[in-house]
């Protein structure tokens, strides 16, 4: 075991994947000698050469289009989009090519070896172009897997599983936690299951569901609620789509209450999909309406970032409303 922050865990996962499979390639803007804007790819070019870790032009649709081509001919590309906010020029490639390549060819061809990494989310005073959480855009697209880790141990295991998945994966990394989240990470090669949520803390009164950096927020809210006598069950969704419906259903059948929290805006956020599904599956067991604690329906603000973010006090208020209903 080694003590790593989340960024080091990502770097370690990439190193592990490249060492175990010569087909794995890393590329993106400034990922070579510079090691990426956050240094996630530090020393990989030095270790594996410019043929396997290299810079691209600043053209996101080209990065993903190139990755699609590599994956289609048998390579295992890991493409980096420098910030998730800049993934939108590649939207057509991801939604109309990556997601549909296997389906439209009748399984004759696929780009299942493709992984796209992108740092997402706020909390770093990045303003509206370096703080967005775009997971819901891609959750609407059959054919893509969307994964978000919450800490270093999860990041390494989930990234290795994503790189080796037979399906294309969007891997969103919570950049606020890159250096803030530190923990013990196995030095050995290991994978954590995709499409499977994790019950992080068991409870009996209310279920709190989140993913990525928002897990830390609901943990803080649960601690405060616990001091008031409210027993919270915490679930990390981990894979946004296809999501683990059964684990969430099982929890809500027990607690009768659910709060879903994410940084992305309220309208059309993935919490709405979760709420609709759980309402359908657990309607007669619900003790109160399902609550959503999310970002606001505005562009991500710079000066009002703290007001925008769905912090632990907002989650605690939702817990009070739900328990008092």
Q: Residue 242: is the preceding peptide bond cis (ω within 30°)?
A: yes
Pairing of strands 182-185, 2-5: antiparallel
3-state SS of 277-316 is: HHHHHHHHHCCCCCEEEEECCCCCCCCCHHHHCCCHHHHH
Catalytic residue among 29, 80, 130, 135: 130
Find the farthest-apart pair of alpha carbons in the chain and give their distance in angstroms, rounded.
60
**Distance between CA atoms of residues 271 and 263, nearest Å:** 10
Element (H, E) at 7: helix 6-20
The helix/strand/coil state of 147 is strand
Q: Nearest-CA neighbor of 312 among 230, 200, 181, 208? A: 208
Q: Is 60 a catalytic residue?
A: yes
Neighbours of 322 (CB within 10 A): 23
- Helix, strand or coil for residue 294? strand
5 SS3 class: strand
Spatial separation of the C-alpha atoms in residues 25 and 34, rounded to whole Å: 16
Exposure of 14 in the CB half-sphere (CA atoms within 13 A): 31
Kindly state the tokens that stand for 218: 């609901």
Q: Indicate which residue of 60, 135, 216, 291 is catalytic.
A: 60
Catalytic site positions: 60, 130
């Amino acid at each position: 075991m080694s003590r790593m922050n989340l960024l080091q865990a990502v770097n370690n996962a990439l190193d592990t994947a490249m060492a175990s499979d010569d087909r794995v390639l890393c590329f993106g803007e400034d990922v070579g000698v510079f090691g990426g804007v956050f240094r996630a790819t530090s020393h990989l070019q030095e270790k594996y050469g410019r043929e396997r870790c290299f810079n691209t032009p600043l053209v996101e649709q080209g990065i993903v289009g190139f990755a699609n081509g590599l994956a289609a001919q048998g390579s295992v590309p890991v493409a980096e989009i420098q910030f998730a906010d800049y993934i939108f020029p590649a939207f057509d490639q991801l939604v109309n090519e990556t997601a549909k390549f296997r389906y439209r060819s009748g399984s004759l061809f696929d780009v299942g070896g493709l992984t796209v990494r992108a740092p997402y989310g706020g909390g770093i005073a990045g303003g509206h172009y370096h703080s967005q959480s775009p997971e819901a855009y891609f959750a609407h697209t059959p054919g893509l897997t969307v994964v978000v880790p919450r800490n270093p141990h999860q990041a390494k295991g989930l990234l290795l599983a994503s790189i080796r998945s037979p399906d294309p994966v969007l891997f969103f990394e919570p950049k606020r936690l890159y250096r803030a989240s530190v923990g013990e990470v196995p030095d050995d090669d290991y994978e954590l299951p995709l499409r499977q949520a994790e019950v992080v803390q068991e409870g009996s009164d209310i279920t709190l569901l989140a993913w990525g950096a928002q897990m830390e927020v609901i943990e803080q809210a649960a601690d405060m609620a616990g001091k008031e006598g409210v027993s919270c069950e915490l679930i990390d969704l981990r894979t946004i789509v296809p999501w683990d419906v059964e684990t969430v259903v099982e929890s809500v059948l027990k607690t009768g209450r659910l709060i879903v929290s994410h940084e992305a805006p309220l309208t059309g956020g993935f919490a709405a999909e979760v709420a609709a599904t759980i309402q359908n599956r657990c309607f007669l067991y619900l003790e109160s309406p399902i609550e959503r604690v999310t970002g606001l329906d505005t562009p991500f603000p710079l000066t009002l970032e703290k007001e925008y973010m769905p912090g632990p006090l907002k989650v605690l208020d939702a817990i009070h409303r739900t328990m008092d209903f």
